[in-house]
Amino acid sequence: MSWLFVFLLISKAVGALKEVVVAWHFGAGEIANAYVFAMAIVLWLPMLLQSVLTSVVVPVMMRTELGKRGSKELFTRELAAFTALVGMFWTGGLVAAAQLGVLPDELGYFGRSMLEQLAVVGTLAAIGAGLAVRLLAKERYGMHLIESIPALVLIPFVVLLASGVDTLLLGTVAGYCAFLGVAIFYARKHRVFALPRLGFRSDYWLPIRRGLGVMIFSQVVMSLTNVIDPWMTAELAGGDVAALGYANRVVSLLVTFGGSMVASAIFPVLSDLSAREGHARVFKHAMLWARWSFLAGLGVVLVGWFSAPHAIAFLFERGAFRSDDTQLVSAIFQCGLLQVPAYMAGIILVQALASTGHYRWIAIGAVLNVLVKLAANTVLAPHYGAAGIALGTTIMYSISLIFLFIMSRRAVRS
């Protein structure tokens, strides 16, 4: 957990630095809005793929010992082929959509052009997602550090080279190429990399299929929130997609100190505990960790709320990023910051439900989250703009935490 804390902290810090550099050179205007929106669409399926496979594959790999010799190696090869095909399908679909002109008008001219040129990132990220899942099942957390490479490569492209749109796109693609190369090297070092092989012959696919459909549904529904926010923000007067992205990046950095770190560290542990001691012990530990995480999140909110204007000004207010942009991002950040306690506690309960195979409840919770998010955005966005959309995320996670707590108590009683 200590190493994971360091890896995640570095990764999120580099990601935040990338947002700062982009803000300095492009501000919160049309180009920055289009880039954030395009990247949200390109990374939608790879992020969905990693989330689904993590929830389903890791518990099976942690608790299943299959007798057929070579089954793990065969499964690794077939998983590599599966993730690569999904990535290529997504890239091809994005390119076709851009050329046929069927993309939403909210993307604008810059956004449609960027999406077509960034489509290859979908394939690179999808292959990396498959490697990340296998490494997590082996309790190797270095992939969290490797995930900072795209941002680390992009920074010198924007700072040292001509800071135009082409440089921004080239730096992004180069960053993900470097990310995949390092990820393959790291996976080979820990013997979880193998050449792809088409098919589903491995014995591991049988238990994975049981939860795959439900988790795909739940994660597809839940991941829509990553697109809903920039989409609904783009429809507001003035857009403010980039401002929402900058604020969310800083919130994400703060969440690293709690929810993401704990969730990534305890998921393999909960899966192993479920196999050895039963579901009751899993939820007993998860409920305890969730309470402490919620309290830690309250502390983050208290400190972050009062320091928000100064922190945003220190990070972003240079170059094309002006003082009025600072005020806008600070207001959005403060509203988004309120989500931290509920998120940090809720993500632990989600890991507990996934590790014990309660995928149906996760799917129901995902549908509830999207409905709450749409309703909150519809009510709050017209009055408060992008800050209302950030506040809608807080409402979504708060109601989600209540639902997850009830389901966890029900799981313990059963």
pLDDT tens by residue, 231-247: 777 666 555 667 777 78
Residue of 412, 181, 387 lying closest to 281 (CA atoms)? 412
Lowest average pLDDT, out of 154-158, 240-244, 392-396, goes to: 240-244
Lowest mean pLDDT segment, chosen from 7-21, 51-65, 292-306: 51-65
What is residue 237's predicted lDDT score, i.e. its pLDDT?
A: 54
More confident call, 219 vs 96: 96
Distance of CA 54 to the CA centre of its chain: 12
- What does the block give as tokens for 84? 């690569």
pLDDT value of residue 399: 95
Confidence band, pLDDT 50/70/90 cuts, at residue 254:
confident
> 3-class DSSP state for residue 148?
coil
User: Three-class SS of residue 235?
Assistant: coil
Question: How many residues are there in the chain?
Answer: 414
Asked whether residue 28 carries a pLDDT value surpassing 90, the answer given is no
What's the pLDDT at 68?
52
Q: What is the mean pLDDT of residues 205-211?
A: 79
What's the burial of 324, exposed, middle or buried (CB within 10 Å: 0-12/13-18/19+)?
A: exposed
Phi, psi for residue 142 in degrees, rounded to 5:
-65, -20
pLDDT reading at 321 higher than 90: no
pLDDT for 211 beyond 50: yes
Does residue 223 or residue 89 have the better pLDDT?
89
What's the confidence (pLDDT) of residue 154? 92
Across the range 343-370, mean pLDDT stands at 87
Contact 267, 63 (CB under 8 A): no
Cα-based distances in Å from 247 to 20, 83, 163, 233, 268? 11, 31, 22, 13, 31
How many whole angstroms separate alpha carbon 391 and alpha carbon 384? Answer: 9
**pLDDT number for residue 107:** 59
- Residue 219 CA from chain centroid, whole number: 11
99, 220 contact by CB (below 8 A): no
**Which of 314, 310, 318 is closest to 163 using CA atoms?**
318
How far apart (Å, rounded) are the C-alpha atoms in residues 29 and 320? 9
Tokens of 241: 């997609």
pLDDT value of residue 290: 87
Tell me the mean pLDDT in the region 321-348: 86
Of 187 and 280, the structure prediction assigns the larger pLDDT to: 187
- Which range, of 263-277, 285-299, 390-404, averages the lowest pLDDT? 263-277
Give the per-residue pLDDT at 234. 66
pLDDT at 257: 62
Contact yes or no for 82/4 (Cβ under 8 A) = no
* pLDDT above 60 (res 33): yes
pLDDT over threshold 70, residue 66: no
Residue scoring higher pLDDT (355 or 108): 355
* Stronger pLDDT, 29 or 347, i.e. the higher one: 347
Query: Average pLDDT over the chain, rounded to whole?
Result: 82
In which residue are the tokens 């997602």 written? 129
* pLDDT band, residue 126 (cuts 50/70/90): very high
Percent of the chain with pLDDT over 90: 21
* pLDDT score at 317: 75
Is residue 391 over pLDDT 80? yes
What is the Cα gyration radius of the chain? Answer: 21
- Tell me: pLDDT of 49 over 80: yes
| Torsion sign over Cα 11, 14, 19, 22 | negative
Q: Which is more confidently placed, 339 or 209?
A: 339
Contact assessment for residue 299 and residue 42, using Cβ atoms and an 8 Å cutoff: no
Q: Extract the tokens encoding 42.
A: 């390109």
Mean pLDDT of 137-141: 79
Residue 199, φ and ψ in degrees, nearest 5: 130, 170
Q: So what's the pLDDT on residue 310? A: 87
Q: What is the spatial distance between Cα 330 and Cα 316, in angstroms, rounded to a whole number?
A: 11
Predicted confidence at residue 69, as pLDDT, reads: 46
What is the structure's pLDDT at 163? 62
Residue 175 has pLDDT above 50, yes or no: yes
Confidence of residue 401 (pLDDT cuts 50, 70, 90): very high
